[in-house]
Structure 1
Amino acid sequence: MVKISLKPVSAQKPDKENDEEKIAIPQAHAQPVPTNRYCIPLLILAAVTLTLVITGIFSYRHLSALRQAPEDSLFHCRVVYEDSMYNPLRGRQQELEENVGIYFDDNYEQISVPVPHFGGSDPADIIHDFHRGLTAYYDIALDKCYVTELNTTMVMPPRNLWELLINVKRGTYLPQTYIVQEDMVVTGRVKNMRQLGPFIHRLCFGKETYRLRRRKQHRVERRETKKCSSIRHFENTFVVETRICDRV
C-alpha cells in the first residue's frame, strides 16, 4: 500500500495566492500517481508469478512418476501365496518370483517368470499390451507363444501395477496372497504376426504362435487327462495360474 501525504495549506495566505494553491494541490496529488500506477501491476505480476511457481511445483510432483518411469519401471519381485490347489483342505505356502517391466509411454507390461523352485509351472515371458488389448505368453519350456485377449479383471493397468510395486518396494516380498486359476484352450495357429503389434511380434517372432480362448465354465480336471501346460505369474494382488490346454 502506498501512503500519499499532502502538504497542509495555510489558511492565512492572501486570496491571490489561494488560486495558486488550488493549482498546486493537484500537483501534490499528481506527484505519487505514477508510483501507484506502476505498483499495482507489479503486485499483480508478483502474485501471478507466485501462482505459476506453486502450480509448476505441484505439476512437477504430480507428473514426476511418469518422468521417473524409464528409470524406475523395472522390478524384481517375490510373493508368498497360499497354494490351495495343492491341498484344498490345507493349503501349502509357495513362493513365486518374477521380473516386471512397466512402460507408460507404450502402455504395456512385460513379465519374466524364471524357472520356479517347485514343479508344475513353466518359465515364461509375458506381455500385456493395453493398447492392442492383447496378452501373449511365451512358454520357454515348450518354445511356443500363445496369444489371447487381455483380461483386465485379472491384470492391473500399468499405472496401478506400478503404484502397487512402488508401495512394496521397501521390502523384498509382497504381502501374502492367494492363487486363482484360469483355463485356456488353443483354438488355432496365428498366421499374421504383424496384427499382434510390435511388442508381441518381437516376443513371438520365429516361434510357433497360437490363439487362446478362455473357458467360460471352470472345470476341474486332472492334468493327465489332457495335454496341458501351466504358467504361474502375478500382475495384481493375487497369483494367477494360467493353464493352457490343447484342443480335444
Structure 2
Amino acid sequence: MVKITFQTVSAQKPEKENDGDKITIPQAHEQLVLPVRPKKPFPAGLCCLTFGLVVFMSGLVLASIYIYRHYFIPQIPEDSLFHCRVVYEDSVYAPLRGRQELEENVGIYLDDNYEQISVPVPRFGSSDPADIIHDFERGITAYHDIALDKCYITELNTTLVMPPRSLWELLINVKRGTYLPQTYIIQEEMVVTGRVRNMRQLGPFIHRLCYGKETYRLRRRNQRRRIERRETKKCHSIRHFENTFVVETIICDKV
C-alpha cells in the first residue's frame, strides 16, 4: 500500500527585501562566487619592440667588431709575420765586444706597400726600443721611440731600407725566427728640424702609430762625422734591421 501525501504550499509570497543594507550570509552548503575580473591582453607590441632592440644592438656590436678588426687592426697573413734575430759586428763603438745580437719583429704588408718593425728593449747596448713604419706608398719613415714616447718623421731612405717584397723574400729564404748570416752595422745621423702639427697628411698607418704623441720632423746630416761627446747627451739611437745589414739611426735634438 502506497501512501501519498501533499505538502501545503503557502499562499503568501515572501516579502520583497527592500532593505539595501541587509547582508546575506551564505550557508555552509553554498559556494561563495567572486566576480571575475577581465584578463589584461598580453603586451605583444612591447615584446616585439624588445626583440627588435636586441637584434639591432647585436647587429651593431657585430658590425663594430668587424669594422675594428678589419680597418683599425692591420690584418697580416701568417707568412708575413717574422721574428728575427740578427748577429752583427759592431766595429764603431764596441770593437772589443765582437759579435752582438739584434732582435725584432717584422710585419710586411705587401698589398699596402709598407713595413712595420718592432724593436724590443735590447739586451746589450744603449739603443732605445722602438716601433718603425716604412711607408713606400708615401715615401715616409716614422720612428716611435718607446723610451721617450716621441715620434720622428723623415723621408724614406730607399738606399738603406728594402722594399716590402724584397725584404719578405729575404726573410722567407732564411726562415722565420732563425739566425740570419752574420752581418755588419752602418750609421745614419738625423737632426730634429721642427714639430709636426698636421698628422693626417702622414697617412693612416703612421697617423695611428704617432697619434697623441709629440711628433717631430727629421733631416739627415750632410757631413759624415762622428757624434761629439758634448752632443751625446742630447742624442739617442735606434738599431734596427731592414736589409742585409743593421742600421743605427742616431737622432739628435741639436743641429
TM-score above 0.5, yes or no? yes
1:92 matched to 2:98? The reply is yes
Gaps spanning 5+ residues in structure 2: where? 1-75
Flag the 1:141–1:155 CA change in 2: closer, same or farther, 3 A: same
Pairwise CA distance, 1:118: 1.0
**Which protein is bigger by CA-based radius of gyration?**
2
Flag the 1:223–1:140 CA change in 2: closer, same or farther, 3 A: farther
2:89 alignment partner, one of 49, 61, 82 = 82
Pairwise CA distance, 1:223: 4.6
Flag the 1:210–1:115 CA change in 2: closer, same or farther, 3 A: same
Pairwise CA distance, 1:93: 1.0
1:114-153 equivalence runs, <5 A: 114-153=120-159
Whole-angstrom distance in 2 between the partners of 1:106 and 1:223: 41
For each residue in 1:165-188, what CA deviation from the matched residue of structure 2 results, as whole angstroms up to 9, or x when unmatched? 000006610000000000000000
Match of 1:209 in 2: 215
1:90-239 equivalence runs, <5 A: 92-169=98-175, 172-226=178-232, 227-239=234-246
For each residue in 1:11-55, what CA deviation from the matched residue of structure 2 results, as whole angstroms up to 9, or x when unmatched? xxxxxxxxxxxxxxxxxxxxxxxxxxxxxxxxxxxxxxxxxxxxx
More helix by share: 1
Query: Mean Cα displacement is larger for which, 104-113 or 165-174?
Result: 165-174
**Given that residues 118 and 132 in structure 2 are in contact (C-alpha distance below 8 angstroms), is that contact kept between their aligned partners in structure 1?**
yes
Query: Structure 1: which amino acid aligns with 2:85?
Result: R
Q: How many equivalent residue pairs?
A: 179
Whole-angstrom distance in 1 between the partners of 2:227 and 2:109: 37
Whole-angstrom distance in 2 between the partners of 1:216 and 1:225: 17
Gaps spanning 5+ residues in structure 1: where? 1-68
